[in-house]
Amino acid sequence: MLFVVAWPVLSEADDTALRRLRAQYYPREAGLIGPHFTLVFGAAVKRESELRETLERLQRRPFWFVLDRVVRFDQTPPSRAAYLFAVPGDGAAELTELYEMLNPTPDGEVFEPHITLGLFERAADAEQVARIVERQHLPMHGRVESLGLLRRDGERLDTLATIQLGG
């Protein structure tokens, strides 16, 4: 499976906070990949050349973002699990534009740029952590300067290409 991610550049304190949150509440993924915005989710390997070409043609400048809220996404019942996401206000339009360029065929899902903070067995636990994160860590200011094309094969994640945004 292929993924395209936007790599956030954050202050050392904010990067450390996100990495610690992910290590505690999303350990399976945190060991594989650091904080990121996913722009292409699980594309077929046959799309690799198309995605490379699209990334190489990008005429996009680096841009700022602000993570200013935490959103809980509850799983469909009977699961009581919930994801917790840090969501940008500023920078969301730029991330959405990149998503739309890289995903020319809509899949029916509404895209909301986010950095996953954790997966919780109970929504109530996610809500409690959300309040703490909002109070102690937000807002977080950062910049997107590069995108990565990644291939996941089981528990292995390889970077196929890194594209620096120009300008």
Query: DSSP secondary structure string, 110-142?
Result: PP---EEEEEESSHHHHHHHHHHHHHHH--EEE
Over the stretch 109-125, which tens digit does the pLDDT of each residue have? 789 999 999 999 999 99
Q: What does the alpha-carbon distance between residue 167 and residue 144 come to, in Å, rounded to a whole number? A: 12
In this model, does residue 77 exceed pLDDT 90? no
Give the number of residues written for the chain.
167
Query: Any idea what the CATH number is for the domain that residue 111 is in?
Result: 3.90.1140.10
Residue 15's H or E segment, with its range, is helix 12-25
Q: What is the mean pLDDT of residues 70-82?
A: 89
Containing structural domain, residue 61? 2-164
Average pLDDT over residues 127-140: 96
Say how many domains are in the chain. 1
Cis peptide leading into residue 113 (ω within 30°):
no
pTM of the model: 0.94
pLDDT score, position 104: 83
What is the predicted pLDDT for the residue at 108?
Answer: 73
109's CB contacts (< 8 A; 6+ apart) are none
Whether the predicted pLDDT of 46 surpasses 60: yes
Mean pLDDT of the chain: 94
* The token pair that represents 4 in the structure block: 């395209």
What pLDDT is recorded for position 79?
Answer: 80
Rg (C-alpha) for the chain, rounded Å, is 16
Sign of the dihedral through C-alpha 93, 116, 17, 131? positive
Question: Which range has the worst mean pLDDT, 1-15, 42-56, 76-90?
Answer: 76-90
User: CA 38 to CA 29: how far, in whole Å?
Assistant: 13
Give the pLDDT of residue 82: 95
- Position 67 scores a pLDDT of 98
